[in-house]
Structure 1
């Protein structure tokens, strides 16, 4: 595993999934278009599965990195919606 593929690369020293750029992309996308700022973490977990012949136990750190990314993204979106006056 190279350092660029390491789940630790998503650590606290890197910018989170919800930056001004990702916010702009999310808000300007069409309603039918899917947008995931954590796609990089998802791709790493899929590569790990392929590399390990589908053995999920070998890729737990990658799955957790993706879950952490998604949680940070959803928390930030929720916070911004609350600030904007939305109820949900």
Structure 2
């Protein structure tokens, strides 16, 4: 059976725009298409989860990618607000002026 890919890219600029422009009380799931397809598969196969494993995996992969991207964005924003440069924020390390090089 071929691997099922999710259609949406949770790190796409359009998805980020929608996420950032939504009301704070609104729920936003960039992987909703993958979730809907996995539920349709369950209905089609009368609840047989074994028949829909690929759909579940596509949803998990999408969510994992989305969560990792959100963590990286929050980390970059937090490090930037503390005064670190983007290079230091991206690799998670920084050297203080008093720290000795080894």
Hey, what does 1:35 align to over in structure 2?
A: 28
**TM-score when scaled to structure 1?**
0.78
TM-score normalised over the length of structure 2: 0.68
Unaligned 5+ runs, structure 1 = 1-5
Counterparts of residues 54-73 of structure 1 (less than 5 Å): 54-73=47-66
How many residue pairs are counted as aligned between the two chains? 78
Alignment of 1:2-81 (within 5 A): 8-10=4-6, 16-81=9-74
Q: Distance in 1 between matches of 2:57 and 2:39?
A: 13
Residue segments in structure 2 that go unaligned for 5+ positions in a row = 80-102
Q: Distance in 1 between matches of 2:68 and 2:11?
A: 9
Distance 1:27 1:73 in 2: 14
Superposed displacement of residue 83, structure 1: 1.0
Which of 1 and 2 has higher RCO (CA within 8 Å, sep 6+)? Answer: 1
RMSD: 1.9
Q: Is the 8 A contact 2:8 2:31 kept in 1?
A: no
Q: Aligned partners of 1:71, 1:9: CA distance in 2, in Å? A: 14
The alpha-carbon distance between structure 1 residues 7 and 43, as it changes in their structure 2 partners (threshold 3 A), is farther
Which of structure 1's runs of 4+ aligned residues deviate more than 3 A?
A: none
Name the larger-Rg structure: 2
